[in-house]
Amino acid sequence: MSTGAAPDRLHREVLEWYAVSARDLPWRRPEATPWGIFVSEVMLQQTPVVRVEPVWRIWLERWPSPADLAAEAPGEAVRAWGRLGYPRRALRLHAAAVAMTERHGGTVPPTEAELLTLPGVGTYTAAAVATFAFGERTTVVDTNVRRVLTRVVSGAEYPAPSPTRAELTVAAGLVPADPARARTWSVAVMELGAIVCTARVPHCTRCPVADLCAWQLAGRPAHQGPARRGQAWEGTDRQLRGALMAVLRESSEPVPRTTLEALSDNEIQRERCLDSLVADGLVEPLPGEQFRLPASREAS
């Protein structure tokens, strides 16, 4: 796989487009702190910007530093997480704040390697925070970057189910040498994927690099190969776990088991979900068949 023609032009066009087209998001502003950027990256995992922004604002106002969050019960983080989904992320974000407070002097560690050791921080998030908060020159690859580079460079509509070695090599090879330029490049490619080179209906007429996009030049051929497996929902454990968590989030008092049992007729599934929530540290069982969000520290 080649990196396509004229990377210099690719850089220039994308960066110029970003300069005039970027959304004004609070975690991108100069006054955003590393902690604010860290929180945004965790919230944005599999969750759209429009849903994250209001929760992020409230979160940062309430807990402006890692130590502020670390001083709270993990259940408060889960409650403030609201309906962002995947509430284990809230628990991990709290655990990360505890780790920052205990091991990093209450600050967000500035290197990709250190970030990677924190709960809830994987390859993408470590690279994103190292780059966006600290200016480290590294390779940021998320679903947007993968889709944009697959189209522009490889000429296919969609990337493979998981990143290939070749894909990561291409992405790394396109990162500008200058750290400041590299940082803007990463956020710009992500932004292009988020608002122009979208998954379902790409807006190629508004794309700054349509004239050098391999997929566009090939006539936008349809996706070959098997359809990606969808996400089943109705009747799944995820649905019931979500319903159980919603009840517990809304209640400031412990919830009796009978209230939770009313959410499903399937006793086997009910018990499995409640047990798994307790095992995950999202729910704390109390004496007398009652449950609440976790007030104590332990969890995962």
Partner DNA sequence: TACCCGTGGTC
Partner DNA sequence: TGACCAAGGGT
| Residues designated as active site | 41
| Residue number, 162 or 205, with CB nearest to DNA | 162
Among 10, 39, 44, 189, binds DNA (CB under 7 A): 44
Q: Give the SS3 label for residue 84.
A: coil
H or E element in which residue 265 lies: none
Residue 186 CB, shortest distance to DNA, in Å, is 10
Tell me the C-alpha distance between 249 and 285, whole Å. Answer: 14
Interaction between residue 88 and DNA (CB under 7 A): yes
| Residue number, 65 or 125, with CB nearest to DNA | 125
Report 198-227 residues binding DNA (CB under 7 A).
Answer: 198-201, 227
Q: Which stretch binds DNA (CB under 7 A): 21-29, 98-106, 178-186, 260-268?
A: 21-29
Among 65, 131, 144, 154, binds DNA (CB under 7 A): 144
Interaction between residue 3 and DNA (CB under 7 A): no
- Give residue for tokens 């400031």: 252
> Please, which residues have CB within 8 angstroms of residue 249's CB and are 6 or more apart in sequence?
78, 79, 82, 293
Interaction between residue 26 and DNA (CB under 7 A): no
Among 204, 246, 247, 278, binds DNA (CB under 7 A): 246
Interaction between residue 184 and DNA (CB under 7 A): no
CB atoms near residue 96 (< 10 Å)? 25
Please, what is the Cα angle at 200 between 199 and 206, to 5 degrees? 75
Q: What is the largest CA-CA distance in the chain?
A: 68
> Please, which residues have CB within 8 angstroms of residue 163's CB and are 6 or more apart in sequence?
141, 146
How far is the CA of 140 from the CAs of 115, 131, 144, in angstroms? 14, 8, 10
Among 231, 253, 267, 268, binds DNA (CB under 7 A): 231
- Give residue for tokens 């487009």: 17
Entry field: residues in the chain: 300
Among 11, 79, 94, 147, binds DNA (CB under 7 A): 147
Among 65, 125, 131, 154, binds DNA (CB under 7 A): 125
Q: Where does this chain bind DNA (CB under 7 A)?
A: 25, 27-28, 40-41, 44-49, 51, 83-88, 92, 119-126, 128, 142-144, 147, 158, 161-162, 190-191, 193-194, 198-201, 227-231, 233, 236-239, 241-243, 245-246, 276, 282, 300
